[in-house]
Amino acid sequence: MRLGGRLAAAIEVLDDIERRHRPVAEALKDWGVSHRFAGGGDRAAIGNIVYDALRYRRSAGWLLGQDTPRAVGFGALLLRGEHSAAGLNAVLEDDRFAPPPLDDAELKALEGRQIADAPGPVRADIPDWCVPLFERAFGDDWVGEGAALAARPPLDMRANTLRAGRDKVLAELSQTGARPTTIAPDGLRIAPISGDGRHPNVQAEAAFQKGWFEVQDEGSQIAAMLAGAKPGMQVLDYCAGAGGKTLALSAAMDNHGQVFAQDAEKVRLAPIFDRLRRSGNRNVQVVTKPAELAALSGHMDIVLIDAPCTGSGTWRRRPDAKWRLTQRQLETRMAEQAAILDAARDFVKPGGLLVYVTCSVFDEENGAQTAAFRQRDPRFAAVDHRALWQSRFPGHEAAARIDPEGGIRLSPARSGTDGFYFCAMRRQA
Ligand SMILES: C[S@@+](CC[C@H](N)C(=O)[O-])C[C@H]1O[C@@H](n2cnc3c(N)ncnc32)[C@H](O)[C@@H]1O
């Protein structure tokens, strides 16, 4: 397929996502099933246009003055800067699978439009209703932070020190272009894809099958490290899901002590069993019965709440979620988070830590949530987060926002990671 056919396919997929409210991955998969002739390179290129169009939906649409699948598809290509409008039309001209070229009205709309002149919400590529949330979270930096959340993400991995050190994994993955991450000591990073490329399928590597590494964003690795799990501790991962943080906590404990993994939705825990077999984590107990959980009350050195959240910190990877999110969903998540904080606190032993983490950038789910919790339960006090950050990641002072009232924030613009919030609160009595 040439560029025109790929662009037409991307517009078709974007239309499907919009009309049928399909998740992007499913819409792309369906397109692939019904177009079996398309090769891997075509699928990757179409996927890149679709994902870019969703990441840059606002700015791509602004360029053409419309928010249609066609406008954002064309806009996403133009934003790459590889073609001028006339140049793109010339490429599409003799391609019979291409969409109709840009017409006079579209060319006129594009004339003289520079993203640098666009209003803030367009440059930030966020919905209008999110602007106050971004302003509250980032102050004057909100446009840059929004734009960074619209960029293509890297592929991050964590060396599983129970099986292999980072250098050994780096040597094994040398063909993939993986480099050490700058902040997390066990992290590896493959840079964001450029042009029509795609990330290597690292999970097909023998080293992955041998459990030498896990796919995990550097921000998630940092959050797990900040929790401070040590060999011999009793740790409850209260919202363990597929176990990304469970495995990191267990590795930090060098398999000594106990990590209890629980989740309200048992089905979410299902992948953890395979992951544990591969990674050699032997101190993880998956909690499946209420009685097993009740027995832990008041005994935990650390309770980690990796809370359900809007996921606004992961919009680089899940850009469709950015446009689907509503104020009502945000409020639902906030209510869940408050209820989980109240339910999980009793598992912390006196002197132990309640650690709250989200992959959201909104203060409503982060600092405001933990501050409200401490008001409800003054037995819990925020630790000195500046001292904590400096002790774990010396030399990286500029990479995180430390909130005076307690909490550490990571973001693509500041830390080069997904957006994360971390807050550790010590139980006094
Ligand atoms: C952010 S995800 C966890 C991701 C996981 N910790 C990881 O690192 O891979 C949040 C999890 O919280 C779970 N959850 C939602 N409500 C819960 C509740 N009331 N109690 C415990 N877990 C809950 C969800 O099922 C979901 O798996």
Q: Per residue in 71-100, pLDDT tens?
A: 999 999 999 999 999 999 999 998 999 999
Ligand 1 center to 268 CA (angstroms): 8
The closest of 281, 205, 209 to 243, measured between CA atoms, is 281
Q: Are residues 273 and 383 in the same domain?
A: yes
State the pairing for strand pair 213-215/155-159. Answer: antiparallel
Helix (H), strand (E) counts: the chain? 22, 13
Among 130, 239, 309, 359, the one annotated catalytic: 359
For residue 404, pLDDT over 90 is answered with no
Q: Work out the pLDDT band at 429, boundaries 50, 70, 90.
A: confident
Q: What is the pTM of this model?
A: 0.96
Q: Are residues 210 and 224 in the same domain?
A: no
Could you tell me the residue range of the domain that residue 323 belongs to?
Answer: 218-427
238 lines ligand 1 (CB under 6 A): yes
Domain boundary among the residues 174, 190, 214 is at 214
270 lines ligand 1 (CB under 6 A): no
CB 131 within 8 A of CB 121: yes
Residue 37 has a CB neighbour count (10 Å cut-off) of 6
Ligand 1 center to 49 CA (angstroms): 31
Q: Which two tokens stand for residue 255?
A: 């398999």
Query: What does residue 305 show for φ and ψ, rounded to 5 degrees?
Result: -110, 100
Any domain includes 148: no
Q: How many residues does the chain have?
A: 429
- Report DSSP letters for 340-355, one per residue: HHHHHGGGEEEEEEEE
Q: What is the pLDDT of residue 8?
A: 97
69 lines ligand 1 (CB under 6 A): no
Atom 8 in ligand 1: which residue has the minimum CA distance? 244
Q: Are residues 85 and 26 in the same domain?
A: yes
Ligand 1 center to 400 CA (angstroms): 24
Task: Summarize pLDDT for 329-338 with one digit per residue, the tens.
Answer: 999 999 999 9
Q: What does the buried/exposed string (b/e) look like for 336-353 if buried means 16 or more CB atoms within 10 Å of the residue's CB?
A: bbeebbeebbbbbbeebb
Mean local confidence (pLDDT), 114-135: 97
Task: Give the count of domains, the chain.
Answer: 3
Q: Does residue 363 have a known ligand-binding role? A: no
Name the DSSP letter for residue 297. Answer: T
Q: Are residues 164 and 240 in the same domain?
A: no
311 lines ligand 1 (CB under 6 A): no
Rg (CA), the chain: 23
Mean local confidence (pLDDT), 384-401: 97
CB 126 within 8 A of CB 54: no
Which CATH number does the domain housing residue 163 bear?
3.30.70.1170
Q: Are residues 282 and 357 in the same domain?
A: yes
The one-letter code for the residue type at 313 is G
Q: Are residues 12 and 85 in the same domain?
A: yes
Any domain includes 125: no
Q: Are residues 191 and 262 in the same domain?
A: no
Any domain includes 145: no
Q: Does residue 52 have a known ligand-binding role? A: no
Q: Are residues 189 and 311 in the same domain?
A: no
308 lines ligand 1 (CB under 6 A): yes
265 lines ligand 1 (CB under 6 A): yes
Domain boundary among the residues 180, 197, 214 is at 214
Does 423 participate in catalysis according to the annotation? no
Ligand 1 center to 333 CA (angstroms): 11
Tally the C-alpha atoms within 13 A of residue 258's C-alpha that lie toward its C-beta: 11
Q: Are residues 415 and 303 in the same domain?
A: yes
Which atom of ligand 1 sits closest to the CA of residue 237? 6
Q: Are residues 80 and 67 in the same domain?
A: yes
Atom 18 in ligand 1: which residue has the minimum CA distance? 264
For residue 257, pLDDT over 90 is answered with yes
For residue 167, pLDDT over 90 is answered with yes
Task: Summarize pLDDT for 176-201 with one digit per residue, the tens.
Answer: 999 999 999 999 999 999 888 899 99
Measured between alpha carbons, how far is 57 from 72 in angstroms, rounded to an integer?
6
Task: Summarize pLDDT for 280-289 with one digit per residue, the tens.
Answer: 999 999 999 9
- Report DSSP letters for 130-174, one per residue: GHHHHHHHHGGGHHHHHHHTTSPPPEEEEE-TTT--HHHHHHHTG
Q: Are residues 234 and 290 in the same domain?
A: yes
Ligand 1 center to 341 CA (angstroms): 12
